[in-house]
Chain A
Amino acid sequence: MIRFRSAFLSPLALGATLLSAAGPANPTPQTGTLNDLQAAYNGESNARATYLAYATKAQKEGYAKAAALFRAAAKAEEIHAANHAQVIKTLGAEPKADIKAPEVKSTRENLQAAIKGETYERDVMYPGFLTQARKEGKVDAIRTFNYAKTAEAEHARLYQEALNNLDGWKTQNASFYVCPVCGYTSTTRPQEKCPSSFTASARFLTIG
C-alpha cells in the first residue's frame, strides 16, 4: 500500500492539481487499455478545469497572452477528453471523471505546474498507454492517445516559452489555433493541414 501510494502520489507532489488529475492515470501503465482510457479521460477533464482557472488568474495578473494559451489548452484538453470518451463508449463502458477543485497560484507557478503535468503526460503517461494499446491492437485508443500525446508536447513547449519570457506574454489580442479533431495547439494556423490529424487548417478553432 505504501509503495502504491508513493508511486501514486509522487507525481502529485510535483504538479499540484494538474498532476492530481494525471496521477491516477499511470500507477501502472500495464493495466489494460480501458483503464488507461478512463484514467486519461479523468486527467484531461481535470486539466481542462485547471487550465480555465489558470486562465482567469493570468487574465487578472495582466498576462493576456498566457491567459489565451491556457484557454486554448483547456479547449484542447476538452477535445482529448471527448475523444477518449468516445473510445470508452465503443468499448462498452461509460466515461467517468472526478473533477477536483484546481489549486491556483501565481501565473508563474501555474505555468510551472502546467509544464510538469504536460511533460509527465508526454514522457510517461501517454507513452505507457500507447505501448499497452499497441499490444492489444486497439486502433481507436492508439489514435486518441497519439493525438493527446502530440498536443501535450506542444502545450509543454508553449508553456515553457511563456515561462521563459513571461513579461512578454502580457500582449493583448493574442490568439492560438486549436485543431477541433486532435487538439493540436499552435501560435499560427497551419498552412494546409494539422500535422497530427491531417485536419484541414480552415477548420482550426481560433482561441483568443
Chain B
Amino acid sequence: MPPLPTWTSLHPLIIHFPIALLYVAPLFILAAIFWRRAREGWSLAALVLMGLGTLSLFLAVATGEAAGRLAERTPQITAALERHESLAETGQVVFSFLTLAFAILVLVPLVLKWEPRAWLRQTVSVVFLFAYLVGLGQLTRVAHEGGRLVHEFGVHSIVTATGPDATTPSPEAPREEPHERDDH
C-alpha cells in the first residue's frame, strides 16, 4: 500500500473533487427540470453533489494554503498565488451560498409537504441554474489560475512519502526521495 500523503502534499489530489462534483451537479438539476417524474431524486442527488463539492472546495483552499507556504517564491509567483487564493476564497462564499439556496429550494417543499406550481418551480430552477453558471465561471477562473501557477510558473506541490520532518530517518535507513507533482 502506498504511504499516506502529508497535508502539505494533498492539494493536487483534493482539487479534482470540487471541479468534478460542482461541474456535474447542474446536469442533475437539468435532469430534474426535464424528467419530472424523478424530480425529487435528481434534485436531492444534485444537492448531495453540491454539498460534497463545496466541502471539498473548503478542503482544497486549506490544503492549497499549506502547499503555497512551501512554494518557491518570486514576486510574480506571489502575485499569482494571491490571485488564486483570493479567487478560491470567493468561490467558497459563492458555492456556500448556492448550496444553501438550493437546499432551501429542495428541502423546504419536502419538509412542508408543499407542492409549488409547475411554472414557479421551473422558473426558479432555471434562474438558479443561471446563478450556478456564474459560480462555475468563478470556479473556472480559480482552476485556470491554479493551472497557470503550475504550467506557467512551474510551482509544484512537494510530495513527501515519508511524512513531515519530525520523522528523521537513521542514516542507514533507505529513504524515498521527495518528488514534485505536475498536476495542479
Contact = CB atoms under 8 A, between A and B. Distances in A.
B6 A139 contact: yes
Interface stretch (A15-23, A87-95, A166-174): A87-95
B166 A146 contact: no
Contacts of A91: 165, 168
A195 B75 CA distance: 10
A198 B68 contact: yes
Contacts of A143: 69-70
Interface stretch (A2-10, A42-50, A57-65, A130-138): A130-138
Contacts of A87: 165
Nearest to A141: B165
A137 B158 contact: yes
Contacts of B160: 137, 139
Interface stretch (B41-49, B79-87, B96-104, B132-140): B79-87
Interface in A171-203: 192-193, 195-198
B85 A137 contact: no
Given A91-B168, A198-B85, A139 B158 contact: yes
A26 interface: no
B168 A139 contact: no
B162 to A, nearest CB: 7
A130 B85 contact: no
Contacts of B177: 135, 137
Interface in A143-165: 143, 146-147, 149-150, 153
A134 B86 CA distance: 27
Chain A interface size, as a band, is 20 to 34
A99 B175 CA distance: 36
Contacts of B85: 193, 198
Interface in B28-54: none
Contact of A90 (B71, B82, B162, B165): B165
A192 B162 CA distance: 34
A146 B69 contact: yes
Interface string B81-118: 11001100100000000000000000000000000000
Given A137-B177, A139-B164, A195-B82, A146 B71 contact: yes
Contacts of A147: 69
Contacts of B166: 90, 140
Given A134-B158, A147-B69, A196-B73, A139 B86 contact: no
Given A149-B73, A195-B79, A196-B78, 17 more contacts: A130-B72, A134-B158, A136-B178, A137-B158, A137-B177, A139-B158, A139-B160, A139-B165, A140-B164, A142-B158, A143-B69, A146-B71, A146-B72, A146-B73, A192-B89, A195-B82, A196-B73
28 contacts: A87-B165, A90-B165, A134-B158, A134-B178, A136-B178, A137-B160, A137-B161, A137-B175, A137-B177, A137-B178, A138-B165, A139-B6, A139-B70, A139-B158, A139-B165, A140-B165, A140-B166, A141-B165, A142-B70, A142-B158, A146-B73, A147-B69, A149-B73, A192-B86, A193-B85, A196-B69, A197-B69, A198-B68
Please list the 7 inter-chain residue pairs (A to B) with the smallest Cβ-Cβ separation, ordered nearest first.
A137-B178, A140-B165, A198-B65, A137-B160, A138-B165, A150-B73, A142-B70
Interface of B: 6, 8, 65, 68-73, 75, 78-79, 81-82, 85-86, 89, 158, 160-162, 164-166, 168, 175, 177-178
